[in-house]
Amino acid sequence: MSTTAEHGPVPRERDRAPKQDRSRATRQRLLEAAVACLAEHGWAGSTVAVVAERAGVSRGAAQHHFPTREDLFTAAVEYVAEERSTALRALFPAGPGDRRAVVAALVDLYTGPLFRAALHLWVAASNEDQLRAPVTELEARVGRETHRIAVELLGADESRPGARETVQGFLDMARGLGLANLLTDDTTRRERVVAQWADLLDTALG
Protein backbone atom coordinates (compact mmCIF):
# COMPACT_ATOMS: atom_id res chain seq x y z
CA MET A 1 0.00 0.00 0.00
CA SER A 2 1.47 3.33 -1.02
CA THR A 3 1.63 6.42 1.15
CA THR A 4 0.06 8.40 -1.67
CA ALA A 5 -3.01 6.19 -1.62
CA GLU A 6 -3.37 6.63 2.13
CA HIS A 7 -3.02 10.37 2.17
CA GLY A 8 -4.35 11.12 -1.30
CA PRO A 9 -2.35 12.61 -4.16
CA VAL A 10 -1.07 16.17 -3.92
CA PRO A 11 -3.65 18.63 -5.31
CA ARG A 12 -2.05 19.25 -8.71
CA GLU A 13 -1.81 15.53 -9.40
CA ARG A 14 -5.42 15.02 -8.37
CA ASP A 15 -6.51 17.56 -11.00
CA ARG A 16 -4.41 16.07 -13.74
CA ALA A 17 -4.94 12.40 -13.14
CA PRO A 18 -8.69 12.17 -13.88
CA LYS A 19 -8.16 14.22 -17.06
CA GLN A 20 -5.43 11.83 -18.17
CA ASP A 21 -7.68 8.90 -17.31
CA ARG A 22 -10.52 10.35 -19.35
CA SER A 23 -8.19 11.00 -22.24
CA ARG A 24 -6.87 7.45 -22.07
CA ALA A 25 -10.39 6.03 -21.89
CA THR A 26 -11.45 8.08 -24.92
CA ARG A 27 -8.41 6.89 -26.87
CA GLN A 28 -9.19 3.30 -25.95
CA ARG A 29 -12.83 3.61 -26.99
CA LEU A 30 -11.74 5.04 -30.34
CA LEU A 31 -9.24 2.23 -30.91
CA GLU A 32 -11.75 -0.49 -30.10
CA ALA A 33 -14.43 1.13 -32.25
CA ALA A 34 -11.92 1.44 -35.12
CA VAL A 35 -11.09 -2.27 -35.10
CA ALA A 36 -14.76 -3.26 -34.91
CA CYS A 37 -15.59 -0.85 -37.75
CA LEU A 38 -12.78 -2.15 -39.96
CA ALA A 39 -13.76 -5.76 -39.31
CA GLU A 40 -17.42 -5.09 -40.14
CA HIS A 41 -17.27 -2.56 -42.93
CA GLY A 42 -13.80 -2.85 -44.45
CA TRP A 43 -11.45 0.02 -45.25
CA ALA A 44 -13.78 1.80 -47.66
CA GLY A 45 -16.47 2.04 -44.98
CA SER A 46 -14.13 3.07 -42.18
CA THR A 47 -13.61 6.78 -41.67
CA VAL A 48 -12.66 8.79 -38.60
CA ALA A 49 -16.21 10.22 -38.49
CA VAL A 50 -17.85 6.77 -38.48
CA VAL A 51 -15.52 5.55 -35.73
CA ALA A 52 -16.00 8.71 -33.63
CA GLU A 53 -19.76 8.26 -33.78
CA ARG A 54 -19.51 4.59 -32.88
CA ALA A 55 -17.26 5.44 -29.92
CA GLY A 56 -19.56 8.26 -28.78
CA VAL A 57 -16.74 10.79 -29.13
CA SER A 58 -16.85 14.12 -30.97
CA ARG A 59 -15.09 14.24 -34.31
CA GLY A 60 -12.83 16.99 -33.00
CA ALA A 61 -11.76 14.88 -30.03
CA ALA A 62 -11.09 11.95 -32.36
CA GLN A 63 -8.92 14.14 -34.56
CA HIS A 64 -7.09 15.46 -31.51
CA HIS A 65 -6.05 11.87 -30.68
CA PHE A 66 -5.49 10.75 -34.26
CA PRO A 67 -4.73 13.48 -36.80
CA THR A 68 -5.19 11.17 -39.83
CA ARG A 69 -7.29 8.18 -40.78
CA GLU A 70 -4.09 6.14 -41.24
CA ASP A 71 -2.95 7.04 -37.70
CA LEU A 72 -6.24 5.89 -36.21
CA PHE A 73 -6.48 2.54 -37.96
CA THR A 74 -2.85 1.45 -37.69
CA ALA A 75 -2.87 2.43 -33.99
CA ALA A 76 -6.10 0.47 -33.54
CA VAL A 77 -4.76 -2.74 -35.05
CA GLU A 78 -1.57 -2.41 -33.03
CA TYR A 79 -3.45 -1.76 -29.79
CA VAL A 80 -5.74 -4.75 -30.21
CA ALA A 81 -2.83 -6.96 -31.27
CA GLU A 82 -1.04 -6.02 -28.03
CA GLU A 83 -4.18 -6.75 -26.01
CA ARG A 84 -4.41 -10.18 -27.67
CA SER A 85 -0.74 -10.92 -26.99
CA THR A 86 -1.19 -10.06 -23.33
CA ALA A 87 -4.31 -12.23 -23.13
CA LEU A 88 -2.50 -15.09 -24.85
CA ARG A 89 0.42 -14.99 -22.40
CA ALA A 90 -2.08 -14.85 -19.52
CA LEU A 91 -3.63 -18.13 -20.74
CA PHE A 92 -0.31 -19.89 -20.14
CA PRO A 93 1.15 -18.13 -17.11
CA ALA A 94 3.60 -20.95 -16.43
CA GLY A 95 5.29 -20.61 -19.84
CA PRO A 96 5.33 -23.51 -22.34
CA GLY A 97 1.99 -25.29 -22.08
CA ASP A 98 0.31 -28.34 -23.54
CA ARG A 99 1.26 -28.04 -27.20
CA ARG A 100 -2.18 -28.83 -28.58
CA ALA A 101 -3.74 -26.15 -26.37
CA VAL A 102 -1.04 -23.64 -27.37
CA VAL A 103 -1.51 -24.42 -31.08
CA ALA A 104 -5.28 -23.95 -30.75
CA ALA A 105 -4.87 -20.67 -28.85
CA LEU A 106 -2.43 -19.33 -31.44
CA VAL A 107 -4.75 -20.26 -34.32
CA ASP A 108 -7.59 -18.49 -32.46
CA LEU A 109 -5.64 -15.23 -32.84
CA TYR A 110 -6.42 -15.38 -36.55
CA THR A 111 -10.10 -16.15 -36.54
CA GLY A 112 -11.63 -13.20 -34.72
CA PRO A 113 -12.40 -9.56 -35.48
CA LEU A 114 -8.76 -8.51 -34.99
CA PHE A 115 -7.56 -10.67 -37.88
CA ARG A 116 -10.49 -9.54 -39.98
CA ALA A 117 -9.63 -5.89 -39.27
CA ALA A 118 -5.92 -6.45 -39.93
CA LEU A 119 -6.74 -8.22 -43.19
CA HIS A 120 -8.80 -5.27 -44.42
CA LEU A 121 -5.96 -2.95 -43.51
CA TRP A 122 -3.32 -5.11 -45.28
CA VAL A 123 -5.36 -5.45 -48.42
CA ALA A 124 -6.14 -1.72 -48.51
CA ALA A 125 -2.44 -0.97 -47.96
CA SER A 126 -1.53 -2.96 -51.06
CA ASN A 127 -3.38 -0.37 -53.18
CA GLU A 128 -3.09 2.81 -51.09
CA ASP A 129 0.25 4.53 -50.97
CA GLN A 130 -0.43 6.41 -47.71
CA LEU A 131 -1.18 3.16 -45.88
CA ARG A 132 1.58 1.04 -47.31
CA ALA A 133 4.56 2.18 -45.21
CA PRO A 134 2.84 2.31 -41.80
CA VAL A 135 1.01 -0.99 -42.34
CA THR A 136 4.15 -2.77 -43.58
CA GLU A 137 5.99 -1.60 -40.46
CA LEU A 138 3.07 -2.56 -38.22
CA GLU A 139 2.79 -6.01 -39.79
CA ALA A 140 6.51 -6.63 -39.23
CA ARG A 141 6.30 -5.53 -35.58
CA VAL A 142 3.19 -7.57 -34.79
CA GLY A 143 4.61 -10.55 -36.70
CA ARG A 144 7.87 -10.50 -34.69
CA GLU A 145 5.96 -10.30 -31.41
CA THR A 146 3.64 -13.18 -32.38
CA HIS A 147 6.63 -15.27 -33.41
CA ARG A 148 8.30 -14.55 -30.05
CA ILE A 149 5.19 -15.66 -28.14
CA ALA A 150 4.78 -18.77 -30.29
CA VAL A 151 8.39 -19.85 -29.73
CA GLU A 152 8.04 -19.27 -26.00
CA LEU A 153 4.69 -21.02 -25.49
CA LEU A 154 5.53 -23.93 -27.82
CA GLY A 155 8.84 -24.34 -25.98
CA ALA A 156 10.66 -24.38 -29.33
CA ASP A 157 14.45 -24.48 -29.25
CA GLU A 158 15.41 -22.16 -32.09
CA SER A 159 19.04 -23.20 -31.93
CA ARG A 160 17.95 -26.52 -33.48
CA PRO A 161 18.10 -26.46 -37.30
CA GLY A 162 14.64 -26.00 -38.80
CA ALA A 163 12.86 -25.12 -35.54
CA ARG A 164 12.52 -21.44 -36.48
CA GLU A 165 11.04 -22.27 -39.91
CA THR A 166 8.73 -24.88 -38.36
CA VAL A 167 7.22 -22.20 -36.11
CA GLN A 168 7.10 -19.64 -38.94
CA GLY A 169 5.31 -22.10 -41.26
CA PHE A 170 2.84 -22.90 -38.50
CA LEU A 171 2.03 -19.19 -38.05
CA ASP A 172 1.62 -18.89 -41.84
CA MET A 173 -0.80 -21.82 -41.62
CA ALA A 174 -2.71 -20.03 -38.83
CA ARG A 175 -2.97 -16.93 -41.06
CA GLY A 176 -4.25 -19.11 -43.94
CA LEU A 177 -6.82 -20.67 -41.61
CA GLY A 178 -7.97 -17.17 -40.73
CA LEU A 179 -8.45 -16.39 -44.40
CA ALA A 180 -10.43 -19.61 -44.90
CA ASN A 181 -12.78 -18.44 -42.13
CA LEU A 182 -13.51 -15.08 -43.74
CA LEU A 183 -16.64 -15.92 -45.74
CA THR A 184 -17.88 -19.08 -44.07
CA ASP A 185 -17.67 -20.67 -40.64
CA ASP A 186 -14.73 -23.03 -41.13
CA THR A 187 -14.60 -24.22 -37.49
CA THR A 188 -15.19 -27.94 -38.05
CA ARG A 189 -12.57 -28.33 -40.75
CA ARG A 190 -10.16 -26.06 -38.88
CA GLU A 191 -10.37 -28.11 -35.67
CA ARG A 192 -9.39 -31.27 -37.54
CA VAL A 193 -6.49 -29.53 -39.29
CA VAL A 194 -5.31 -28.02 -35.99
CA ALA A 195 -5.46 -31.40 -34.21
CA GLN A 196 -3.41 -33.06 -36.95
CA TRP A 197 -0.81 -30.30 -37.20
CA ALA A 198 -0.48 -30.01 -33.44
CA ASP A 199 0.73 -33.64 -33.50
CA LEU A 200 3.06 -33.01 -36.44
CA LEU A 201 4.47 -29.88 -34.78
CA ASP A 202 4.94 -31.75 -31.51
CA THR A 203 7.03 -34.38 -33.31
CA ALA A 204 8.95 -31.79 -35.33
CA LEU A 205 9.82 -29.63 -32.32
CA GLY A 206 10.89 -32.63 -30.23
**Counting beta carbons within 10 angstroms of the beta carbon of residue 182, is it exposed (0 to 12), middle (13 to 18) or buried (19 or more)?**
exposed
Rounded to the nearest 10 degrees, what angle do helices 129-154 and 163-180 cross at?
120
**Contact region with a copy of itself (CB under 8 A), list: 22-30, 56-64, 81-89, 175-183:** 175-183
Among 58, 86, 187, 196, binds a copy of itself (CB under 8 A): 196
Residue 6 or 129 having the CB closest to a copy of itself: 129
Window 14-73: residues binding a copy of itself (CB under 8 A) = 40-42, 44-45
Rounded-to-10 torsion of CA 164, 168, 170, 173: -160
- In angstroms, what is the minimal distance from the CB of 198 to a copy of itself? 10
CB-nearer residue toward a copy of itself: 29 or 147: 147
- How far apart are CB 86 and a copy of itself at their closest, in Å? 23
Q: Which is nearer to a copy of itself, 48 or 178 (CB)?
A: 178
